[in-house]
Amino acid sequence: MAEEILRRARAFVTAWRIALRIVGVSFRAELQYRSNFLSSIALGIAWQGSVIVFATVLLGNFTDMGGWPSGAVLLLASMRMLSHGVYALLFDRSHRLGVLVQEGRIDAFLIRPMPVYRQVQLAEFPTNALGDLLVGASMFTGAVTTIDLHWTPLRILYLTSGLIGGTLMEAAVFTALSSAHLHFPSSSAWSTWIEEIFGMFGSYPLSFLPRSVGALFTFVLPLAFIAYFPAAELTGHTDHLTVPSAVALASPAIGLGAFVAARLLWNVSLRRYTGVTG
């Protein structure tokens, strides 16, 4: 038993060492075109920076939003942006699966001794995610240092788990969508549309929207679990949630569970994949 555990541990370490080498090669390949590399980072900064500008304009004209003061809204927006930046760095290639299918590259992935899902994420280096992360980390640092909250070890632990859970929930949504891309490549347009919705509403309290829309972003598109519920629990704004407070508190665990379920769905969809020629 001990030898088997040791063998599996070595295999796990070896597999991820190979993955990191691929990331390093991809990163160096991106650096060969410095102008394109820098412009991609700048594009990520500009895209996320526009969210900051919009939020600043709103908070400059309104003292609160949906009952949330400006500090709480800033924390929510920064959690959403940082979670999205980590998602973009680790999982964002899922929405490009339709292109990989149409190009026939998935067929080559099937014969390599590495999980196909991992190969999809390693297919290219997400340079623009560096810009997303830079803006998200900067805004997050400003939010946690200016908001009037006593950062106890328990709060810090929940904040960290909330960021991880938000990343996994976003990955779960787009991994589940990419399961359809294996069979219907044109469905990738849905991923683009949903990504725009997440970017439009994810940085603001859902309590300022009609309750029916809040329910939609909870039970159909689980946007609320990415940052809204964790931020509400941290700041004490739990009066107008669309779920019981205990469910909102469990957002990080729900994000993990959703990602596991999405990966299982993806594996089932991959087993039914018949190739680019059908």
pLDDT band at 95 (very low <50, low <70, confident <90, very high): confident
Phi, psi at 64, each rounded to 5°? -150, 170
- Which pLDDT belongs to residue 59? 60
273: part of which helix (H) or strand (E)? none
Q: Please report the pLDDT score of residue 176 as a whole number.
A: 92
Please tell me the pTM assigned to this model: 0.89
Give the pLDDT mean for 88-94: 87
Q: What is the pLDDT of residue 18?
A: 86
Crossing angle between the packed helical segments 228-235 and 153-181, to the nearest 10 degrees:
170
Radius of gyration of the chain (CA): 20
pLDDT of residue 152: 93
Q: If you write DSSP's letter for every residue of 183-245 in order, what string do you get? A: T-GGGHHHHHHHHHHHHHHTTS-GGGS-HHHHHIIIIIS-GGGTTHHHHHHHHT--TT-SS-H
Q: Collapsing DSSP states into helix, strand and coil, what is residue 64?
A: strand
Q: What are phi and psi of 103, to 5 degrees?
A: -80, -5
Query: Which of 117-131, 159-173, 179-193, 257-271 shows the lowest per-residue confidence on average (mean pLDDT)?
Result: 179-193
pLDDT of residue 132: 86
Residues 114 and 95: their CA atoms lie apart, in Å, by 20
pLDDT tens per residue, range 231-259: 999 999 888 888 999 999 999 999 999 99
Q: Identity (one letter) of the amino acid at 235?
A: T
Q: Is the pLDDT of residue 277 over 60?
A: no
